[in-house]
Each structure stands twice: as structure tokens, then as C-alpha cells.
């Protein structure tokens, strides 16, 4: 299997799997938090729900995390494969996607720590730690947007392996995520889904081109 083929499959399978796990399986099994509750009560409710179904929650998080790692790794590797005019921008984009992976690791570690504290009966510390875990995600859309924009610019300059139309859409998606995602959760999620669709489309194009 060539690097391009691996990237293609990761860009197709991982984003789809991630959406299925976190938008479909997790709410169906773990339930959804009541957003109308005060922040502390909502977080405590989420932690209690996880504790009641800890095995299922751990499996869901692990599978979802693996899909996220595959998705971001594919984009990082794609950036590193640029070796002509877009090489510099591709390398920087790769570093940005690696930083996004670090956010995942930090957030997961804080959440696991919160679960342990709740099991020990230390509710206040557990809520504080879980709140910190959620806060780690606040910069996620902006950082992801920067990565998309840099990768798209690199692909535009490289003129390969994606056509300029798709590369340009990466730039637009990145700029939109960076600027508009903080405006509202609904808009941010819509932009995120559009960017995921763009990644899947690009993966299909790369796969067909590598055949």
C-alpha cells in the first residue's frame, strides 16, 4: 500500500467513523446532557452518566479517538507529502494538525482524571477538571481552520495531488472555521461538517487517482 493510498483511505473512513460514533452511537447509548442546566450541574450529570456506563463510554471514546487520530494524521501526512512549491506551507500545516492531536490527548487525560475523582467522591474537583477538559476544545475550530487554510494554500501552489478547486475549498473552509466558528455552536458545527465532507471528497479523489 502506497502512502497516497493510505492517506486516501484514512481521509474517507476516519471522518465518517468519527461522525457515526460521536453524533450517532454516543448519544444513543450514553444519552445527551441537558444544556439548559447550569454548567456545574450539566457537567456533573455527564460524569455520572459516564460512570454508570463506564465500559461502554470507554469503548466509544477509544473508537472515536482512533478515528479522529486517523483523520488528523491523514491531513498531517498529506501536508508532509508536498515537496515542491507548497512544501513549506504543507510542513507548517502538518505541525498545526499535530497540535490539534495534542488537544485531543490533553482533553482525554483531563476527562479520565475527572472520572477518577468522581469515583473517589471528590465531586467539586471532578467538575473542575471536566470543565478544563471542555475548555481545551475552545481553540479547536480555530486551530483546525488554520491547518485547513495552510494545507489548502500548499495544495494550490503544488498543483498536485488535488485539483485547484478542491485545494481552494480547503482554504475557504479553513478561513470560515477560523472566523465564524466562535459565532455560534450551530454555525460552527455546520462548518465542521462541511469541512469533513470536503476531506472525504478529497480522499475519494486521491484514491481514484492512485488506482
Cβ 169 vs Cβ 93: under 8 Å = no
Residue 46's pLDDT is 82
DSSP the chain: --HHHHHHHHHHHHHHHHHIIIIIIHHHHH----TTS-HHHHHHHHHHHHHHTHHHHHHHHHHHHHHHHHHHHHHHHHHHH--STTHHHHHHHHHHHHHHHHHHHHHHHHHHHHHHHHHTT-HHHHHHHHHHHHHTTTTHHHHHHHHHHHHHHHHHHHT-SS-HHHHHHHHHHHHHHHHHGGG-HHHHHHHHHHHHHHHHHHHHHHHHHH-
Q: Please state, in angstroms and as integers, the Cα–Cα distance from residue 47 to each residue in 25, 117, 122, 176, 182, following that order.
A: 18, 10, 12, 33, 25
Q: What pLDDT shows up at residue 116?
A: 84
Q: What is the pLDDT of residue 185?
A: 66
CA gyration radius for the chain? 18
| pLDDT for the residue numbered 211 | 57
Phi, psi dihedrals of residue 165, rounded to the nearest 5°: -65, -50
Distances (CA, A) of 124 to 25, 82, 121, 191: 29, 48, 9, 34
pLDDT, position 47: 83
Displacement of CA 136 from its chain's centroid (Å):
13
What string of pLDDT tens digits covers the 211 residues of the chain? 688 888 999 999 999 999 999 888 988 888 777 777 777 878 888 888 887 887 888 898 889 999 999 999 999 999 998 888 889 999 999 999 999 998 888 888 888 888 888 888 888 888 888 888 888 888 888 899 999 999 999 999 987 778 889 999 999 999 999 988 777 667 778 888 999 999 999 999 988 876 5
Residue 4: what pLDDT? 82
User: CA 206 to CA 160: how far, in whole Å?
Assistant: 10
Distance, in Å, from the CA atom of 170 to the CA atom of 172, rounded to the nearest integer, reads: 6
At residue 161, the pLDDT reads 79
pTM score: 0.88
Residues 6+ away with beta carbon under 8 Å from 166 = 155, 198, 201, 202, 205
Q: What is the pLDDT of residue 114?
A: 87
Q: What confidence score (pLDDT) does residue 210 get?
A: 64
Amino acid at each position: 500500500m502506497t502512502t497516497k493510498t493510505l492517506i486516501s483511505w484514512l481521509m474517507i473512513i476516519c471522518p465518517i467513523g468519527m461522525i457515526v460514533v460521536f453524533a450517532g452511537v454516543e448519544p444513543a447509548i450514553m444519552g445527551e446532557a441537558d444544556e439548559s442546566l447550569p454548567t456545574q450541574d450539566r457537567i456533573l450529570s455527564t460524569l455520572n452518566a459516564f460512570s454508570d456506563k463506564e465500559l461502554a463510554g470507554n469503548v466509544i471514546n477509544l473508537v472515536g479517538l482512533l478515528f479522529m487520530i486517523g483523520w488528523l494524521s491523514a491531513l498531517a501526512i498529506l501536508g508532509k507529502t508536498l515537496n515542491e512549491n507548497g512544501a513549506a506551507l504543507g510542513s507548517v500545516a502538518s505541525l498545526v494538525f499535530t497540535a490539534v492531536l495534542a488537544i485531543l490527548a490533553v482533553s482525554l487525560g483531563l476527562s479520565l482524571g475527572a472520572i477518577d475523582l468522581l469515583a473517589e467522591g471528590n465531586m467539586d474537583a471532578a467538575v473542575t477538571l471536566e470543565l478544563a477538559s471542555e475548555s481545551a476544545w475552545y481553540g479547536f475550530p480555530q486551530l483546525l481552520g488554520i491547518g485547513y487554510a495552510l494545507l489548502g494554500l500548499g495544495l494550490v501552489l503544488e498543483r498536485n495531488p488535488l485539483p485547484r478547486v478542491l485545494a481552494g475549498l480547503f482554504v475557504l473552509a479553513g478561513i470560515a472555521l477560523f472566523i465564524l466558528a466562535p459565532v455560534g455552536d450551530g454555525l460552527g458545527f455546520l462548518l465542521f461538517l462541511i469541512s469533513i465532507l470536503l476531506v472525504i471528497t478529497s480522499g475519494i479523489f486521491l484514491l481514484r487517482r492512485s488506482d
